[in-house]
Chain A
């Protein structure tokens, strides 16, 4: 989902280890690569005297595999994506945080408090989030873009010029929002209707592609394309006359979260670290670096001008946002079948 340059600076690790030797206190962070800027680490150490030791990973799955393979008890915090929080909690890998232990918990935006993977935020806090929807070429379609009909039941001017993400989970979830049915429906009539709706919509689609959505929009090969919000902003900055939709029916979101791991060796420091990331001034540094969005109140005024005013980073108010849900095996097999029907 997120493509960072996969580099790990050996020098940085060495210098961090050296700091650890000097400092009495430390917090051991297991994090995505290139997702936590050095300025934030320095600020934390300066304010609290706690050194940050960090290891990195490049996918939720590899993080989970490494923790399961015996790294539990080594790390204090990790930064799993939304569905992975649920999986880790289900395997008893996260430690719970009592009410009042996080002084800045109140800073979490209301919309991110009762998330499906952690009701009431008992073991995770927001780190960064982004959204998935679609962008529309304003030259081809000058009208309102905020409606999923533009991809599932498009006007003639857009028919045959639509690119869908080549990703079953995201296409199915957006289709569910379009039809106003649950994402993991077990209702047969709803599933049949979903199957029929997708087969009918397919005649309007030009292609399935996830890797070059930005180029498709910039070159004009596609007039509409499903896309991630950050990627759409890049396409716009490269000259595409497009608008990112926050459809009336709703849009999809993903979120990375900081969790306190079970058996954290430095639990108190981990909580300080999490509290630190809930301060708007601190998490704004991360957002300005990663170019996504924070889930904390009061960050907006602290963002870089371009990012703050970017329409892609500012959802329309009052629109439903849903995470892609994890279905059980029996339900998933029906969705797999619908996906194959769609592609045969």
Chain B
């Protein structure tokens, strides 16, 4: 880490004059693809909804008000806290969190196994992990639906080996959504952890055991702190897209209960939508993710002086 920082410093010194121009493509891309769209979204979230889609250019807090406050079906009851959207967000966070934990539990041993294979066979393992992901996510999710359905192969198999007497109802449940999320984003957990473990110096483990550390102590006090950046990157890469996913909830969960992604999609669909509300819901999601990432990066900074030693 220290070493690479030094190298980067040298580069900036050498090109001090040209630095502005060299950074231009990055700044351009960031502003066109990130800053401007987010600003548009922010502005729209404070505009007035136009009947049957679109916005009227009048400033209002109506969208945020709708998100947090409940005034009853007809809008004239005493103000209460609106739990509808909070519960939708909570459901999404819970599902995404569980998918992250499950991917970590399966992804970490997988990554460890691959990273400890001989050099020449590692590429093959990584290749095998990525093969299913060459297929479009939509197709993989639909395939999952075929596997899980009531008279699908999974139920047929379980019936055949007489584990169950009646087909399990898996499709259109929260469990199916969870399976879909976990399966969709698993490689995003495996690959960063693999990259970290591959760079890990295994003589440190040997040193630890020479100093009478148990295997468990070696794992938690030597290996894990060293590969923490990879684990955190993996968790973020699984958690964040799971949070906004709408394919799995729609196709595997039957779209019965909105998740954040489908709630936002509904606001922009056809003529029945509410653009400012969709923008506000997106801004709230964005803020949540940003806060989460800031907490993570602060923790990592704090941990660095110890981890780096």
Residue A329 is within 8 A (CB to CB) of chain B in the complex = yes
- The 8 Å CB contact of A206, one of B88, B254, B274, is B254
Question: A210-252: contact bitstring with B at CB < 8 Å (1 yes, 0 no)?
Answer: 0000000001110000000000000000000000000000000
Q: Which of B52-110 contact A (CB under 8 A)?
A: 73-75, 84-85, 87-88
Cα-based distance from A221 to B171 in the complex (angstroms): 9
Q: B84 touching A338 by the CB < 8 A rule?
A: no
Specify which of A195, A209, A334 is in contact with B255 (CB 8 Å cutoff): A209
B88 lies within 8 A of A344 (CB): yes
A209, B272: Cα distance in complex, Å? 17
* Residues of B close to A163: CB separation below 8 A: 254
The reply to whether the CB of A96 lies closer than 8 angstroms to some CB of chain B is: no
**How far apart are the CA atoms of A336 and B75 in the complex, in Å?**
12
| CB pair A188 B272 closer than 8 Å | no
CA distance A221 to B170 in the complex (A): 12
Minimum CB–CB distance for A109 against chain B, Å: 29
Kindly state whether residue B258 has any CB partner on chain A within 8 Å: yes
**Chain B residue with minimal CB distance to A202?**
B256
Instruction: Bits for B197-228, please: 1 = Cβ < 8 Å to A, else 0.
Output: 00000000000000000000000000000000
Tell me if B113 counts as interface (CB < 8 A to partner A): no
Note all chain A residues with C-beta closer than 8 A to B258: 340, 343-344
Q: Which residue of A lies closest to B88 (CB)?
A: A344
Which has the most chain B C-beta neighbours within 10 Å: A219, A221, A329?
Answer: A221
Given contacts A192-B73, A207-B254, A221-B171, contact A336 B274 (CB under 8 A): yes
Counting chain B CB atoms within 10 Å of each CB, the highest count among A208, A219, A338 belongs to A208
> Nearest chain B CB to A206's CB is how many angstroms away?
5
A interface size (C-beta, 8 A): 30
B-chain residues with CB within 8 Å of residue A139 when the two chains form the complex: none
Q: Judging by beta carbons under 8 Å apart, are A337 and B271 in contact?
A: no
B256 touches A208 (CB 8 A): yes
B residues less than 8 Å from A195 (CB atoms): 73
CB distance from B74 to the nearest CB of A (A): 6
* B210 nearest CB across to chain A (Å): 58
On whether A166 and B171 interact (CB within 8 A), knowing A334-B74, A344-B87, the answer reads no
Please give, as numbers and ranges, the residues of chain B lying within 8 Å of A205 by CB-CB distance.
254, 256
Q: Using an 8 Å CB-CB cutoff, how does the interface string of B100-128 with A read, 1 for contact, 0 for none? A: 00000000000000000000000000000
With a CB–CB cut-off of 8 A, which chain A residues contact B85? 344
Tell me the smallest distance from the CB of B170 to a CB of chain A, in Å.
Answer: 12
Residues of chain B contacted by A333 (CB below 8 angstroms): 75
Minimum distance in angstroms from A72 CB to a CB of chain B: 21
> What DSSP secondary structure best describes chain A's contact surface?
helix
Determine whether A315 belongs to the interface, using a CB cutoff of 8 Å to chain B: no
Please tell me if the beta carbons of A169 and B254 are within 8 angstroms of each other in the complex: no
Q: How far is the CA of A168 from the CA of B73 in the complex (A)?
A: 17
Q: What B residues does A192 contact at CB under 8 A?
A: 73
Q: Judge whether B51 and A332 touch: CB under 8 Å.
A: yes
Interface set, chain A 294-344, CB cutoff 8 A to B:
329, 332-334, 336-338, 340-341, 343-344
Q: CB-CB < 8 A to B73: which residues of A?
A: 188, 191-192, 195, 334, 337-338
Q: B150 within 8 Å of A by Cβ? A: yes
Give every chain B residue within 8 A of A334 (Cβ-Cβ). Answer: 73-74
- Whole-angstrom distance between the Cβ of A101 and the nearest chain B Cβ: 33
Closest to A168 in B: B272
Is the CB–CB distance between B84 and A208 below 8 Å? Answer: no
B19: Cβ under 8 A from any A Cβ: no
**Those of A136-179 within 8 Å (CB) of chain B:** 160, 163, 166, 168-169
Most chain B C-beta atoms within 10 Å of own C-beta, residue among A61, A168, A207 = A207
List of A residues within 8 angstroms of B171 by Cβ: 206, 221
**Chain A residues, CB < 8 A from B87:** 344
Residues in chain B near residue A332, CB distance under 8 A: 51
User: Which A residue sits closest to B173, measured CB to CB?
Assistant: A206
Bound-state CA distance A206–B254 (Å) is 6
Q: What residues of B have a CB within 8 angstroms of the CB of A220 in the complex? A: 150-151
For B72, the closest partner residue in chain A by CB is A337
Most buried by A among B74, B85, B87, B257: B74
- Interchain nearest-CB distance for A339 vs B (Å): 8
Query: Closest residue of chain A to B272, judged by CB?
Result: A168
With A221-B149, A221-B171 in contact, do A61 and B271 touch (Cβ < 8 Å)? Answer: yes
Q: Is B242 an interface residue (CB 8 A)?
A: no
Tell me, yes or no, whether B301 is within 8 Å of chain A by CB.
no
User: Is B172's CB within 8 Å of the partner chain A?
Assistant: yes
The 8 A CB mask of B253-272 against A (1 = contact, 0 = none) is 01111100000001000011
A169-B272, A334-B74 known; A341+B84 contact, CB < 8 A: yes
A30 to chain B, nearest CB (A): 21
Determine the chain B residues whose CB is within 8 A of the CB of A166 once the complex forms.
255
Q: Which residue of B lies closest to A335 (CB)?
A: B272
Q: A residues within 8 A CB of B254?
A: 163, 205-209
- Separation in Å of the A278 CB from the closest CB of chain B? 31
Given contacts A205-B256, A209-B255, A340-B84, 10 further A-B contacts (CB under 8 A): A61-B271, A188-B73, A195-B73, A206-B172, A208-B255, A219-B149, A334-B74, A336-B274, A338-B73, A343-B258
Query: A residues within 8 Å of B by Cβ?
Result: 61, 160, 163, 166, 168-169, 188, 191-192, 195, 202, 205-209, 219-221, 329, 332-334, 336-338, 340-341, 343-344
Chain B interfacial positions (CB closer than 8 Å to A):
51, 73-75, 84-85, 87-88, 149-151, 169, 171-172, 250, 254-258, 266, 271-272, 274
Question: What would 12 A/B residue contacts be, using CB atoms closer than 8 Å?
Answer: A163-B254, A205-B256, A206-B171, A206-B254, A209-B250, A329-B51, A338-B73, A340-B84, A340-B258, A343-B255, A344-B85, A344-B258
